[in-house]
Structure 1
Amino acid sequence: MRLNIPLTGEPEVEAVREVIESGYLTQGAKTAAFESTVRAYTGARHAAAVSSATTGLHLALVALGVQPGDEVVIPGFSFPATANAVIQQGAIPVFVDIDESSFNLDPALLESAITERTTAIMPVHAFGLCADMDAINGVAARHGLPVLEDAACALGGTYDGRHAGTLGTAGVYSFHPRKIITTAEGGMITTNDDALAERIGVLRAHGAVRGELFMEFVDAGFNYRLSDVHSAIGLAQMARIDDIVAGRRRAASELTSRISGVDGLRVPSEPAGTAHTFQSYVVMLDDGIDRDQVIRHMRTRDVETTLGTYGMHLQPYFRERFAIADEDLPRTTRAHHQALTLPLYPQLTGDDMDVIADALRWSLQESARR
Structure 2
Amino acid sequence: MMRLNVPLTGAEELAAVAEVLESGYLTQGPRAAEFERLVSEYVGVPHAFATSSATTGLHLALHAAGVRAGDEVIIPDFSFPATANAVIQQGATPVFVDIDLDTFNMDPALIGAAVTERTRAIMPVHAFGLPADMDAINAEAARIGVPVIEDAACALGGTYRGRQAGALGTAGVFSFHPRKIITTGEGGLITTSDDALAERVAVLRTHGAVRGSHYMSFVDAGYNYRLSDVHAAIGVAQMAKLDAIMAGRRALAATYGEALAGVAGVAAPHVPEGTEHAYQSYVVLLDEGIDRNAVIDAMRAAEIETTLGTYSMHLQPYFRDRFGIADEQLPQATRAHASALTLPLYPQLAESDVLRVVETLARVLESHA
Shorter-normalised TM-score: what interval?
over 0.9
Query: Which residue of the partner structure matches residue 69 of structure 1?
Result: 70
> Structure 1 residue 297: deviation in Å?
0.3
> Structure 1 residue 39: deviation in Å?
1.0
Query: Which residue of the partner structure matches residue 189 of structure 2?
Result: 188
The answer as to 2:135 corresponding to 1:142 is: no
> Structure 1 residue 358: deviation in Å?
1.5
Query: Which residue of the partner structure matches residue 266 of structure 1?
Result: 267
The one-letter code matched in structure 2 to 1:310 is Y
Query: Which residue of the partner structure matches residue 97 of structure 1?
Result: 98
> Structure 1 residue 367: deviation in Å?
2.0
Equivalent position SS for 2:294 = helix
Query: Which residue of the partner structure matches residue 297 of structure 1?
Result: 298
> Structure 1 residue 363: deviation in Å?
1.3
RMSD, aligned CA = 0.6
The one-letter code matched in structure 2 to 1:267 is A
Query: Which residue of the partner structure matches residue 46 of structure 2?
Result: 45
> Structure 1 residue 100: deviation in Å?
0.4
Unaligned runs of 5+ residues in structure 2 are none
CA distance in 2, matches of 1:353, 1:134: 34
CA distance in 2, matches of 1:59, 1:182: 20
The answer as to 2:118 corresponding to 1:122 is: no
CA distance in 1, matches of 2:239, 2:116: 40
CA distance in 1, matches of 2:187, 2:368: 39
The one-letter code matched in structure 2 to 1:326 is D
Query: Which residue of the partner structure matches residue 87 of structure 2?
Result: 86
CA offset digits 1:64-103 (Å, max 9, x no partner): 1101110000000000000000000110000000000000
> Structure 1 residue 114: deviation in Å?
0.5
CA distance in 2, matches of 1:230, 1:55: 15
TM-score for both structures, normalised by structure 2: 0.99
CA offset digits 1:323-357 (Å, max 9, x no partner): 00000000000000000000011111122112101
Query: Which residue of the partner structure matches residue 168 of structure 2?
Result: 167
Equivalent position SS for 1:183 = coil
The one-letter code matched in structure 2 to 1:261 is G
Query: Which residue of the partner structure matches residue 324 of structure 1?
Result: 325
Query: Which residue of the partner structure matches residue 212 of structure 2?
Result: 211
Query: Which residue of the partner structure matches residue 34 of structure 1?
Result: 35
The one-letter code matched in structure 1 to 2:148 is V
TM-score for both structures, normalised by structure 1: 0.99
The one-letter code matched in structure 2 to 1:103 is F
CA distance in 1, matches of 2:91, 2:353: 46
CA offset digits 1:225-254 (Å, max 9, x no partner): 000000000000001101111110001001
> Structure 1 residue 366: deviation in Å?
2.2
CA offset digits 1:259-284 (Å, max 9, x no partner): 12100011001111111011000000
The one-letter code matched in structure 2 to 1:352 is D
Equivalent position SS for 2:279 = coil
Identity %: 68
CA distance in 1, matches of 2:266, 2:367: 15
Query: Which residue of the partner structure matches residue 3 of structure 1?
Result: 4
CA distance in 2, matches of 1:141, 1:250: 37
CA distance in 1, matches of 2:368, 2:229: 48
Query: Which residue of the partner structure matches residue 311 of structure 2?
Result: 310
CA distance in 2, matches of 1:106, 1:307: 21
CA distance in 1, matches of 2:159, 2:267: 23
Unaligned runs of 5+ residues in structure 1 are none
CA distance in 2, matches of 1:316, 1:194: 39
CA offset digits 1:96-141 (Å, max 9, x no partner): 0000000000000011111000000000000000000000000100
CA distance in 2, matches of 1:350, 1:241: 20
Equivalent position SS for 1:287 = coil
Equivalent position SS for 2:283 = strand
Equivalent position SS for 1:340 = strand
The answer as to 2:355 corresponding to 1:357 is: no
Q: Which runs of 4+ in 1 moved over 6 A?
A: none
Query: Which residue of the partner structure matches residue 228 of structure 2?
Result: 227
Equivalent position SS for 2:172 = strand
CA distance in 2, matches of 1:332, 1:304: 23
The one-letter code matched in structure 2 to 1:113 is A
Which range is displaced more, 356-365 or 80-89? 356-365
CA distance in 2, matches of 1:107, 1:245: 28
CA distance in 2, matches of 1:315, 1:232: 36
The one-letter code matched in structure 1 to 2:271 is E
The one-letter code matched in structure 1 to 2:22 is E
